[in-house]
Amino acid sequence: MFYYFFLNSQSDNLKSCIDIVNHAPYSLSDSNLSNLHINYFYSNGEQWKFNYFGEIKKNESININKDDLDIKVKHKSIFICLSEKKNIDNDYLQNSYKLEKIFHPPMRSNIKIFNNYSAASYQGEIPAIFLKKKLSLVSCSPMIQKMKGIKNFFYLVNLSNSPEIKDFKVEVLNIKKQKISELVCKTNTVNFFNIEEINKTNDLVYIFKSSEHGGIPLYFTVNDDYTNMSIEHTHPPVEHVVFGDRPHFQRKKKTYWFENS
């Protein structure tokens, strides 16, 4: 079971869409597929507000433009989920991690930000198992550019099974563990920051960290006339290890950045 999200922006020059695929990556897993219903939802801080979008059939792909949704949700942090039932409610997010084995193989998505000149996308999803975990964040930023005429932005996408929206802090460090800035993010939100002030330092790499909450960190770069853009993400620390005790490596790396900083 996976969730998807739209990339908000603060510019009228940019739009967001999601490509969702409901077909298997290999033929032997095709028998597990079925027609699914698409719902989009957001939190009002007290409960989840669900809206029905439509159906995606077996072996079909669909493009959902955020502009296709109700105009009332245009400026909200919108998430997408697939379900076997047409109508779902607040209890769905509480229990969706139990449905991991139902939607197998994983339904992939392409999360895109675009305009009439260019586009950038990120292939990714939010696993339902993340919604019930207490996550932290350690993310490096080697993709940030310092060239003239280039603007840099930071996304942190947070989603949990509780609809509560509350503030949490993300510290920005340099490689010497010196704090150079602090961002205030919100839970259950597609957080979006212009980091040009941070990028005026002489540091080449930044570390974004939080012991309060985690999420999916993304780095978006665009030139001044919005004709060229890119979006990149950093994998969780555990993804840098192929074999062995991967959780141990993740703990070691996070401990290094959380201690004495």
Q: What is the pLDDT of residues 58-76, one digit of tens each?
A: 888 999 999 999 888 888 9
Position 227 scores a pLDDT of 92
As a whole number of angstroms, the longest Cα–Cα distance in the chain is 54
SS3 16: strand
pLDDT class of 205 with cuts at 50, 70, 90: confident
**DSSP H or E stretch at residue 94:** helix 91-95
User: What does the mean pLDDT of the chain come to?
Assistant: 84
Per mean pLDDT, which range of 27-31, 137-141, 145-149 is the poorest? 27-31
| pLDDT over 90 percentage in the chain | 46
pLDDT at 204: 82
Structure tokens at 219: 């780095």
Beta strand pairing call for 36-43 and 48-56: antiparallel
Say if residue 242's pLDDT is above 70. Answer: no
Region 165-186: what's the mean pLDDT? 94
Handedness of CA 163, 78, 218, 181 (dihedral sign): negative
Locate the DSSP E strands across 57-215: 60-65, 79-83, 109-114, 119-123, 126-127, 137-140, 150-158, 167-173, 179-186, 189-194, 207-210
pTM beyond cutoff 0.85: yes
pLDDT of residue 55: 93
Query: What average pLDDT does range 168-182 have in this prediction?
Result: 93
pLDDT of residue 100: 46
Lowest mean pLDDT, pick from 44-53, 61-70, 86-95, 130-139? 86-95
Res. 104: pLDDT tops 50: no
- pLDDT surpassing 60 at residue 101: no
Q: Are 2 and 126 in contact (CB under 8 A)?
A: yes
